[in-house]
Each structure stands twice: as C-alpha cells, then as structure tokens.
A and B are shown apart, each in its own frame.
Chain A
Amino acid sequence: MKMTFRAALLGGLIILLGAAVAPTVMARKDLIYDPGPLKATDSLLKVRVGEQAPDFTLKSLSGKMVSLSDYRGKNTVVVSFIPAAWTPACSDQWPGYNIAQDVFRKHNAVILGISTDNIPTLHAWTSQMGGLWFPVLSDFWPHGEAAAKYGVLRSDGMADRTIIIVDKKGKIRYIALHNINKRPPLEEIIHELEKIR
C-alpha cells in the first residue's frame, strides 16, 4: 500500500512538474529579480552642472571608508548611483564598465559605484559578477544620505539611476538622471570624459 501511495505521488508530482517548469526554463536568468517597470524617475536633483560637488564618505566593499574628496587633484570621478542589487538593468550596468577599464584609465577617470544596498548584499552581488575594478560604496546607513545630498533618493529608498561626473577640482561637469528601467549607454559617459582635459 505504501509503495502504491508513493508511486501515485510520484506520478502526480511529475505531471505538476511538467506543467510548472517547462514554460519558465527559457526565461531563467540566474539570480536576477525583475520588479517589472518602475516609475522612470522619482527624485528632484539638488545639484547643477558647474557647482561644487557635495562631499560624501561611504564604506566600500573592502571595508575602507572612501570620500569623493579623496580624488581631488588626482582623478576625474564618475559617480554612478544605481537603484538596487540583483535587478535587471543594474546587474548589466557595472559589468559593462568593468571591461572598459582601459577607456576610463585613458581619461584619468575612476568610477565610484554607489547603491543604497548594504555591504553583504553588494558583496554577494558583485562577487557573482566576478568582481569589479572600481570601488563599490554602500549608502545603506544613514539610509541614502549621499543620494539625498544630490537629490537622487527615491521615495522607495532606492537611488535613481544617475551619472554625475566630477572633475579634479571637485566641480560637477555632467549630470544625467536616467530612466530607472534602462541602462545608460556607455558612450555618453566616455563622450563627456573626452570633453574634460
């Protein structure tokens, strides 16, 4: 009787598995969570091109505290605010910058990647990308403080997808508040870096 029940259970399970798994196999994309389309932007910029960039100090994945002002007089800084780890457009954005290191270096530029996620989450997320050459900073606590200084903190606690380019004197040279659902084209950033000598 036990065997009969097990075999019946097995048969039922296989039927259910066939119905549930088959249609989703082709749509699998590793560990990425897709929240669906979100409001394109949900913040009000507090900074303008030509202004001095507000300084911030945040903890990096290495444990070191990193300030924007650390790069004053040394490098152009591309500040890349992204909304959330493990989401589709964000998970595509930084790996692209990762293979363009030579192009950023050619323009004496560094990237500071900032997210309001906490350090353990950012560690797990960037590790499965294979690591990143630029500092990844957590703006988790006080939550979104750096994003709020620039006016790119959304009402849901994430940062809007924003690129801010700061020159060696600490002046803002470029701001682009992008649609949260789309990845900004790399050439836009490089084109702006070319203008800064």
Chain B
Amino acid sequence: MRIPIIMAGMGMVALVLFSAASTLEARDDHLRALNALTLYAPEAAGDREYLGLDDEKEKISLGQIDAEILIVEIFSMYCPHCQKHAPDANKLFRVLDSRKDIRNKVKMIGIGVGNSRYEVGIFKDKYSSPFPMFDDRDSVALSTISGIYTPHYFALRIREGSIHEIVYSKSGAFPDAEAFLDMIVKESGIK
C-alpha cells in the first residue's frame, strides 16, 4: 500500500515541477520577445502623453513607456472573445485611472496582434476603448510571442528602459476588473 501512495505522491510532484518548468521557460521566451518588440506608436496626442513618448518617435519598444508596471492586453480585432471582453478591458482601464495612488505608475495598453492600424482603429471605435492601442502591421508580435491565445494579459515590470520582469501572464478574459487590478498590484508589490 505504501509504495503506490509514494508513486501517486511522486506523480503529483512531477506534475507540479513540470508545469512550473514549462511556465518559467515560456516566461523567459516571452520576456525576450517582448523586449525585442518594436511597434508603431499610437498617433493621438493624448495617448502619447499618457505613455510619456517623445513626439518624434514613430516606433518604440515597450520598455520606453513611462510606467513602473505596464499591463498589456494582447488582442485581435478579429477575435470574438476579445470583442466580447472589450467592455471589461475598458472597465479595467477606468478602474486603474480612478486609482490616484497608482495610475501614474501602472499603465495599460493593447496590442492588436497581426492587425493593421485600420483594423485596430475599427476595434477602438466600435468599443470606445479609452486606452492606447498599438497595431502590429508587420505581424512581428504575432510571430514572436508564441504559445498564447487572445485575449492574453501581461503585467510587465519596467526598469531603466527595458522590461525587467514578467509579473503576470495569462491567456483568457478576467471576470472582474477590480479584482484583477488588485491582484496585479499585489503581485507586483507596487505602492
């Protein structure tokens, strides 16, 4: 009886270790891909001011955004799950914007993977998305950020012009914007 119980225990440990190793490996790949990513910045003056971008920069890397924690929604204009989730994503931004204690430190953007500027514009207009959205007209994000499905959320810690750490990474919509933001704040340790 003892040996099978030990085997079951070993199985559990193997499962946990394997999952953890896979997650860590994926995060390393994503960290490299996200740091290498350069995207066409939004043109709207309000978006550029929010992100702290130099007026002259047409393309930027995510590490150049003026934030300590950057919440990134990876979406696609063509993804029905992202369309359905759009009001919740908007709510997340509004909740974040209402938090005076953290809104200058934690910022939020969207990246429309494989989407042109026109396609991102259609999505932004349709759902009145209040946060800056980047297009991916060259499909660089689509081809380099692997193993996720849309919508996907990253929370990235930015330090000295680059992404220092992936604080959070998960595919799928969140059910509650306030709880999601609280979780990101807690995970990141930001005050």
A interface residue numbers (CB < 8 A to B): 3-8, 10-15, 17-19, 22-23, 25-30, 92-93, 95-96, 98-100, 102-103, 128-130, 183, 185-187, 190
Contact = CB atoms under 8 A, between A and B. Distances in A.
A6 B8 CA distance: 10
Given A22-B15, A22-B18, A187 B116 contact: yes
Interface of B: prevailing SS? helix
Interface in B55-85: 76-81, 83-84
Given A22-B15, A103-B122, A186-B77, 4 more contacts: A11-B5, A14-B12, A95-B78, A183-B114
Contacts of B76: 92
Contacts of B10: 11, 15
Contact of A15 (B4, B15, B78): B15
Shortest beta-carbon contacts, A-B, top 8: A14-B11, A11-B7, A18-B15, A7-B4, A96-B78, A11-B8, A92-B78, A26-B147
Given A96-B119, A99-B77, A187-B119, A26 B8 contact: no
B90 to A, nearest CB: 15
A130 B81 CA distance: 9
Given A96-B77, A183-B78, A22 B83 contact: no
Contact of A3 (B1, B6, B18, B126): B1
B123 interface: yes
A99 B123 contact: yes
B118 A11 contact: no
Contacts of B26: 26
Interface residues of B, number: 37
Contact of A93 (B4, B78, B116, B123): B78
A130 B79 CA distance: 11
Nearest to A183: B78
B19 interface: yes
28 contacts: A4-B4, A7-B5, A8-B4, A8-B7, A12-B7, A14-B11, A15-B14, A17-B15, A18-B18, A18-B19, A19-B18, A26-B171, A27-B147, A28-B149, A29-B149, A30-B81, A30-B149, A93-B78, A95-B79, A96-B77, A99-B77, A100-B126, A102-B126, A103-B122, A128-B80, A129-B80, A185-B118, A187-B116
Interface string B33-59: 000000000000000000000000000
A64 B18 CA distance: 53
B156 to A, nearest CB: 18
Contacts of A30: 81, 149
Contact of A99 (B11, B81, B122): B122
Contacts of B148: 26
Nearest to B25: A23
Contacts of A185: 116, 118-119
Contact of A92 (B12, B22, B79, B118): B79
B27 to A, nearest CB: 11
B146 to A, nearest CB: 8
A187 B118 CA distance: 7
B116 A7 contact: no
Given A93-B78, A96-B78, A14 B149 contact: no
